[in-house]
Amino acid sequence: MLRFDIAPVCSNAYRFQATMSFAIAAVYLFTPYKWVAFILAFGGLIRGFVSPHKCLSYRLFAALTEKLGWTLKVNAGSKMFADKIAFVAGTAMAATWLLGSDVGNIPATAILIFAFIDAATGFCAACWAYGLWYRVRAA
């Protein structure tokens, strides 16, 4: 479902955002600083449920890509879906850390892998799943 109620977002700015998600997942997995999961959850909450344009990190990355001439506008729907997944994963990571469980390593590993793929190649697995869902549902 395309989102026409929210202005298009810059796909390349989201690649920078994926780099941040990758870094957060790496810090969560490989250091004792598990509290960084709250940053992932909060960013996912703002970008996924409110608007990417209200998120300071997205605005910074969008301004950077515009200044570099790398602007590539896409519909916000699939990117917001990816951010909702980041919110769920970040919340699960934070909650399991607070409960003293290592189960948060599972969503952190998924974020690490898929954020790396997005940052390195521009392929957003959540965006692809979002499009597939609506194609299958329409059939």
What DSSP line would sit under the chain, residue for residue? ----SS--EEHHHHHHHHHHHHHHHHHHHHSS-GGGHHHHHHHHHIIIII-GGG-HHHHHHHHHHHHHT---EE-HHHHHHHHHHHHHHHHHHHHHHHTT-STTHHHHHHHHHHHHHHHHH---HHHHHHHHHHHHHH-
Whether 4 maps to a domain, the answer reads: no
- pLDDT value at residue 87: 98
> Tens digit of pLDDT for each residue in 59-112?
999 999 999 999 999 999 999 999 999 999 999 999 999 999 999 999 999 999
Asked whether 40 and 25 are in contact (CB, 8 A), the reply is: yes
Does 2 fall in a domain?
A: no
- Is residue 3 in some structural domain? no
How many domains would you assign to the chain? 1
Q: Which of 126, 99, 97 is nearest to 38 (CA)?
A: 97
124 residue type, one letter: C
Only one residue has tokens 């001439």, namely 69
- Tell me the per-residue pLDDT of 42-65, one tens digit each, with 9 for 90 and over: 999 999 999 999 999 999 999 999
Residue 94 lies inside a defined structural domain of this protein: yes
Which domain does 17 fall in, by range? 9-138
1 domain-assigned? no
21 within a domain of the structure (yes/no): yes
- Structural domain includes residue 71: yes
Tokens of 83: 């951010």
Q: Are 127 and 16 in contact (CB under 8 A)?
A: no
pLDDT confidence bin for 16, thresholds 50/70/90: very high
Look at residue 95 in the predicted model and tell me its pLDDT: 98
Residue 1, pLDDT above cutoff 80:
no
